[in-house]
């Protein structure tokens, strides 16, 4: 997982990266697919944050997912 934080001009002002390896049973995987996973991260920044972009890559499935959130 990689997290990017940017300012109002989309200039990066902070980022962090972390590997999350999950070992779950098939039943747990079904529940996680339905309910999702909660995760909290602290990203050091240098400026006024306006957006956060999260990038997740699943190595087993070779799938990439992203989510961008505008901050107020």
Q: Rounded to two decimals, what is the model's pTM?
A: 0.78
- How high is the pLDDT of residue 28? 94
Q: What is the pLDDT of residue 13?
A: 97
Band of the pLDDT at 60, cuts 50, 70, 90? Answer: confident
- Angle CA 51–52–55, to nearest 5: 145
Residue 23: how many CB atoms within 10 A of its CB?
5
Domain residue limits, the chain:
2-70
Q: What pairs with residue 17 in β-bridges?
A: 2
Average pLDDT (35-54) is 93
Reading the block at residue 47, the tokens are 């400026």
Question: What one-character-per-residue DSSP string does 2-68 give?
Answer: EEEEE-TT--EEEEEE--------HHHHHHHHHH----------SS---EEEEEEEETTTTEEEEEE
């Amino acid at each position: 997982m990689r997290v990017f934080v940017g300012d109002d001009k989309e200039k990066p002002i902070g980022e962090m990266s972390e590997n999350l390896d999950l070992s779950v049973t098939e039943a747990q995987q079904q529940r996680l697919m339905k309910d999702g996973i909660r995760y909290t991260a602290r990203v050091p920044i240098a400026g006024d944050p306006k957006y956060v972009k999260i990038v997740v890559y699943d190595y087993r499935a070779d799938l990439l997912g992203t989510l961008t959130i505008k901050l107020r």
